[in-house]
C-alpha cells in the first residue's frame, strides 16, 4: 500500500472538521470545513466535531484568530499537528494558547520540525501542553471517549528532524478501534504502511503543511 492508498483509506468522521493553518503568520487564516461519512464509523462517533490546528508559529495574529474561531465553535476534539513554536523563548506562549483552544473531550498534539529547532526538551514541552489541558503525543497513542464510543489517536514525532517510532506509538493500542493518526509531515506515511501488520486502519489522517 502506498501513500495515496493509505490516505484514500482514511475516511473522516461524520461530523464537522475544520482546519486552521497559521503558517502565513499574520497575513491570513485559512479555515476549511468538511462533513464526510465513513461506512465503518461507530454510531457513537457520528457527529463528532474535530478542529485541526497546524503550523501556528506562536506568536501569530492568525493563530489568535484561529483561537477565537475555536472558542466560538466549541469543537469536541482539537488536534495540533506541529510547529506550534519555533524558538525556545516562545515556550511560555504554549500553555495559555492551548488553554484557549481546548476541545470539549480532548486536545492532542504532536511535534513538528520547528518545535525541535526550538531546542525545548520533550518533557518540558509536554508539561507546557499539559498545563494548558492538552496531551503531547510523541510516539504514543491515546483514547478519547465520546457518546459511549472510543476513538484512538496515534501521534508520531516529526520525521524530518525527530524520531518517529510506529512500534512505540502502537504499543498497547487496539487495532480494532477507529483510529486517527497525527503527524507533521505526510511523506512518512509511506513508511507507516510498511510497518507492523497490526497497524490500525486509518479512519482519518491529519497532518501539518505539505512537507516532503
pLDDT tens per residue across span 154-202: 999 999 999 999 989 999 999 889 899 999 988 787 777 655 556 777 7
Taking only the tens of pLDDT, the chain with its 212 residues reads 344 443 444 433 444 555 555 544 445 666 778 775 777 788 899 889 999 999 999 998 889 989 999 999 899 999 999 999 999 999 999 999 999 999 999 999 999 999 999 999 999 999 999 999 999 999 999 999 999 999 999 999 999 999 999 989 999 999 889 899 999 988 787 777 655 556 777 767 777 765 44
Under 8 Å between Cβ of 198 and 166: no
For 1, residues 6+ apart whose C-beta sits below 8 A from its C-beta are 9, 193
pTM above 0.75, yes or no: yes
Residue entry with cell 502506498? 2
For the four alpha carbons of 52, 75, 100 and 127, in that order, the dihedral sign comes to negative
C-alpha cell at 69: 474561531
Under 8 Å between Cβ of 171 and 146: no
Q: Interior CA angle at 189 toward 3 and 50, to 5°?
A: 100
Indicate the DSSP class of residue 149.
Answer: E
CA distance 58 to 23: 10
Amino acid at each position: 500500500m502506498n501513500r495515496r492508498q493509505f490516505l484514500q483509506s482514511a475516511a473522516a468522521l461524520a461530523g464537522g472538521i475544520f482546519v486552521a493553518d497559521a503558517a502565513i503568520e499574520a497575513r491570513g487564516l485559512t479555515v476549511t470545513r468538511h462533513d464526510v461519512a465513513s461506512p465503518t464509523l461507530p454510531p457513537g462517533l457520528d457527529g463528532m466535531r474535530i478542529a485541526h490546528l497546524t503550523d501556528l508559529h506562536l506568536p501569530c495574529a492568525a493563530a489568535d484568530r484561529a483561537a477565537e474561531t475555536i472558542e466560538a465553535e466549541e469543537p469536541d476534539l482539537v488536534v495540533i499537528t506541529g510547529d506550534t513554536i519555533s524558538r525556545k523563548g516562545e515556550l511560555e506562549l504554549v500553555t495559555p494558547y492551548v488553554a484557549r483552544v481546548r476541545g470539549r473531550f480532548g486536545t492532542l498534539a504532536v511535534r513538528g520540525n520547528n518545535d525541535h529547532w526550538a531546542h525545548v526538551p520533550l518533557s518540558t514541552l509536554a508539561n507546557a501542553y499539559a498545563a494548558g489541558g492538552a496531551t503531547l503525543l510523541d510516539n504514543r497513542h491515546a483514547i478519547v471517549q465520546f457518546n459511549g464510543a472510543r476513538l484512538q489517536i496515534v501521534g508520531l514525532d516529526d520525521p524530518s528532524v525527530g524520531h518517529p517510532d510506529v512500534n512505540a506509538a502502537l504499543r498497547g493500542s487496539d487495532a480494532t478501534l477507529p483510529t486517527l493518526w497525527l503527524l507533521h509531515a505526510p511523506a512518512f506515511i509511506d513508511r507507516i504502511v510498511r510497518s507492523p501488520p497490526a497497524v490500525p486502519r486509518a479512519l482519518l489522517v491529519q497532518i501539518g503543511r505539505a512537507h516532503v
